[in-house]
Amino acid sequence: MLISRRIPVAFATVLLSSLLLVSSALAAQPSTVTVRVVGLTGTTLLPQTSVSTTTVPIEPEPSKPCSGTSAGGALYDATHGNWVVKYDSGIGYEIDGIQGLNFPPFSISSPPDAYWSFWLNGAPASSGACEQELEPGSDVVFFAQCTAIGTDCPTSKTAPQHFLTESVPATNVQVGAPMSVTVGSLSTETGASESLPGEVTVSAGSVSAAPNAQGVATLTFPSVGTYTIEVAAPDSVPSDPHTVCVHNGNDGTCGTTIPGIPKGVPEIVHPPSVDVAMVGGVKNGHHYSRRNGPRILRGLVRVPAGATLREVRVSLQRRNGKRCMVFNGAREAFIHARCGVARFFSVGSAESFSYLLPVALPVGHYVYDIEAIDDAGNTTKLVAGASHVVFYVK
């Protein structure tokens, strides 16, 4: 089993007795989860990253594989193997480094001053990372934790002491309208709820605010766009990010509908011989960085006079190496699929739409398609560069 290190000498006896147990848990089904890695002083080493686990085991030690559908497997996929692990026949796998932040191997006679703590779904994990199988939508966080004054922890033997949380009431908000964000804090030692630490800041780009005595911060967004909200404070693990889409009335963003359709958007033809849908916000053939990759899928459709638009559907395929996935609208996550096969899901029946993806797109080759269905059951054809675009995230 792959473990995050529990260094304090007071816990050493209990720790070692638990590590001697071999996991008997059955491997889970592949699922799409998020992984985040935070270093000392709250530094983000890996932003929240969506990965789709597989049943292929990870084999740092070939005779002792780590389940590919476990938290350890998800961490390996998210970091592209940028970790340091050591196998011990007595205790199993031990994480010594992630994303280039490495700590000395555990030794009872000379314990290091820091280790990697592992939390699952906003609470300390009860199992080692390779023991812990994941359900769809699981949220995995690894963060560096001090246990003594030393080279890695020169000023504190307990930092970080707080694990921050946030609750965002909506994913869409009007420009200039206040949004209330509720902030919470958990002890990194016990996982129990606690009072907020000092100097807490809730930020979203250039917008920021401090929570009041009830833990509520109010943000007001000055312009249209996508904002990522995060809570930070000294001696704390920052909160998971939440993305909100800010619109200005019915401007065609964030799921709003523009009155009328701009010129140049094709119409449905019976039978449908031309494209009816046009992709917005994504450039065909463009290469995006992970930071600037598309987060909102947009599009416009148009129907002729007398016809009724029944449904608009989209498909987002991802390929990374030999692995192919498609976005599932019901699960709001990527699932494994046969390469080159689109799977559409409904985004409603509005002629102008936008769909906010739950997390930033990971590295990969993407195909984004839009199709529309009218009241007679006619379905539009895909046209390259219009309703069928290809883009890349690096």
The pLDDT, as a whole number, for residue 262 is: 47
The pLDDT, as a whole number, for residue 9 is: 30
Distance CA 29, CA 212 (A): 43
Q: Which CATH architecture has domain 277-393?
A: Sandwich (2.60)
The pLDDT, as a whole number, for residue 366 is: 92
Q: Please report, as a single letter, which amino acid is at residue 279.
A: V
User: CA torsion sign, 66 to 69 to 74 to 77?
Assistant: positive
Distance CA 49, CA 361 (A): 8
The pLDDT, as a whole number, for residue 155 is: 87
Is the peptide bond preceding residue 111 cis, with omega within 30 degrees of 0?
no
The pLDDT, as a whole number, for residue 374 is: 80
Helix (H, G, I), strand (E, B) or coil at 255: coil
The pLDDT, as a whole number, for residue 125 is: 94
* Per-domain residue ranges of the chain: 2-146, 162-247, 277-393
Distance CA 291, CA 264 (A): 31
Could you tell me which residues are beta bridge partners of residue 227?
244
The pLDDT, as a whole number, for residue 15 is: 34
Helix (H, G, I), strand (E, B) or coil at 165: strand
Query: Mean pLDDT per 10-residue run, the chain (394 residues)?
Result: 38 29 56 94 93 90 88 95 85 87 81 91 92 93 94 89 94 91 96 96 94 96 90 96 86 65 45 46 82 83 73 91 90 88 88 84 91 80 76 90
User: Is it true that domain 2-146 has CATH number 3.20.20.70?
Assistant: no
Supply the pTM of this predicted model: 0.65
Distance CA 177, CA 274 (A): 41
Distance CA 116, CA 148 (A): 14
The yes-or-no answer to whether 162-247 and 277-393 have a common fold is: yes
The pLDDT, as a whole number, for residue 378 is: 78
User: Is it true that domain 162-247 has CATH number 2.60.40.10?
Assistant: yes
Helix (H, G, I), strand (E, B) or coil at 75: helix
Burial class (CB in 10 A: 0-12, 13-18, 19+), 367: middle
DSSP assignment of 352-363 equals EEEEE-SS---S
The pLDDT, as a whole number, for residue 304 is: 64
